[in-house]
Structure 1
Amino acid sequence: MIKIILAEDHLVVRNGIKLLIDSQDHLSVVGEADNGNDVLSLLRDGCEADIVLSDISMAGMDGITLVEKLKEEYPAIKVVILSMMSSSQHVFQAFEKGAWGYLVKNVGYDELLFAVQHVGKGGRYLCEELAMMLVEKLQAAPSTDTSVEDLISQMDISERELEVLQLIGEGHTNVEIADKLFLSKRTVEGHRQNLIDKTGVKNSAALIKLAVKTGLIK
């Protein structure tokens, strides 16, 4: 039997989840809470649970803070987040703090039950909707397979332009770069513009961002 505490401040939602979970022979809701503080109170009063199924947005103590507290005080208890929040930032933060699973609230009943059982057996779970969202983001991201040398060759960036790019990335002005490389200010301005043209960015800030992302500068 997997014992579950529900942390959800919307009573209608909580009642619906409780009915679903209690309809399963091997799952049982042993406690209900409006926020993280209530969950900790239940546990300190002797309530024993294997999993806490928790929302994120709750008054008093939110779900992310609860994950952190439970990891410190009750490390054997696994937290599964069930939230309307579907941003990658919230997902990464939850798992970083110690969550074992993350589901969005429009998840199907079957997937919710599977996730709880999977985590109860020691696995981790990310719902299908969020998993596909992260896959799509990875597919849309620029490929990192190209080596720095290949990028330099493809963009036809000279050694002198790389020197200028490195100094731009370090925050030096055109005058400072000219002094360091024994060039005229006009020549440095020319190199900067060439770099912007060759990389296809709009300005120096975007140039630095691209250079760091691709490894052209460190």
Structure 2
Amino acid sequence: MKNIILAEDHKVMRKGLKMLLESTNQYKVVFDAGNGLEVVEALDRGLTADLIVSDIGMPVLDGISMVRMIKEKHYQIPVLIMSMLEDDSHIFSAIRIGAQGFLTKSVDPDELFFALSKIISGERYICAALSIRIIERMVDTTFIAQSGISTSEFSSREIEILRLIGEGLTNAEMADKLFISRRTVEGHRQSLIDKTGAKNTAVLMRFAFTKGILN
């Protein structure tokens, strides 16, 4: 049986996760805390465990700061971050500072248990949904960096359309603003996608920012 430390400031979430883990008879929660400082202090008192499962957003000491402090104190206990925060900055911060894994709180139990087994065995794990998103962004970034297209290949109208897309305008709103038909707007939009090879509007926007068309 593997020993787990839980750090989660929401009592209902903490209790539910504890019940889920212990229901397998493979894990035992030896300590549960409402913030990262409680975990660090418990480790200072000599508490040991096979893994720490922690939220990010906690009072007193958040999950990222807790991981940093654990590493500074040279405690050799892997940390799995579970959070509602799914933006890249939190993922990269957690992994860079020393966390061995990152899950969103929306993962199903099977993936949670899979992640626990991987991390306890010495591997790293990022949940499937986030991994796919990160890979897609890396592919898009590589595509943009390797693109030899220059802004001179766009017409002034296409650049105008691109900027309005960046402002969040719909095709109908752009048509009204530019006094052209919606079909004409759609034609310019498709032309932009064809010229850049962008598979969707999100990639097209990243292309525009990278090339300095939008700022």
- TM-score w.r.t. the length of structure 1 is 0.67
Distance of aligned partners of 1:209 and 1:143 in 2 relative to their CA distance in 1, 3 Å threshold:
closer
Matched, 1:106 2:133: no
Letter in 1 for 2:7: A
Larger Cα-atom Rg: 1
Letter in 2 for 1:6: L
**Which structure 1 residue ranges, 4+ long, deviate > 6 Å from structure 2?**
none
Letter in 1 for 2:211: L
Aligned to 1:72: 72
Matched, 1:119 2:139: no
Distance of aligned partners of 1:108 and 1:156 in 2 relative to their CA distance in 1, 3 Å threshold:
closer
Aligned to 2:90: 90
Please tell me whether the aligned partners of residues 50 and 76 of structure 1 are also in contact (alpha carbons under 8 angstroms).
no
Q: Secondary structure at the match of 1:76?
A: coil
- TM-score w.r.t. the length of structure 2 is 0.68
Distance of aligned partners of 1:74 and 1:55 in 2 relative to their CA distance in 1, 3 Å threshold:
same
Aligned to 2:176: none
- Measured against aligned partners, the alpha-carbon deviations of 1:124-150 in whole angstroms (never above 9, x if no partner) come to 000011112212323433516738xxx
Alignment partners' CA distance in 2, 1:208 and 1:145: 12
Task: Note the 1:68-217 alignment, pairs <5 A.
Answer: 68-141=68-141, 143=143, 146=146, 151=148, 155=150, 210=211
Gaps of 5+ in 1: 158-193, 212-218
- Measured against aligned partners, the alpha-carbon deviations of 1:53-89 in whole angstroms (never above 9, x if no partner) come to 0000000000000110111114410110000000011
RMSD between superposed Cα atoms in Å: 2.8
Distance of aligned partners of 1:140 and 1:35 in 2 relative to their CA distance in 1, 3 Å threshold:
same
Alignment partners' CA distance in 1, 2:208 and 2:10: 48
Distance of aligned partners of 1:145 and 1:48 in 2 relative to their CA distance in 1, 3 Å threshold:
same
Matched, 1:16 2:11: no
Deviation of residue 207 (structure 1)?
A: 9.4
- Measured against aligned partners, the alpha-carbon deviations of 1:154-212 in whole angstroms (never above 9, x if no partner) come to 6499xxxxxxxxxxxxxxxxxxxxxxxxxxxxxxxxxxxx9x97xx697xxx999538x
Please tell me whether the aligned partners of residues 8 and 34 of structure 2 are also in contact (alpha carbons under 8 angstroms).
yes
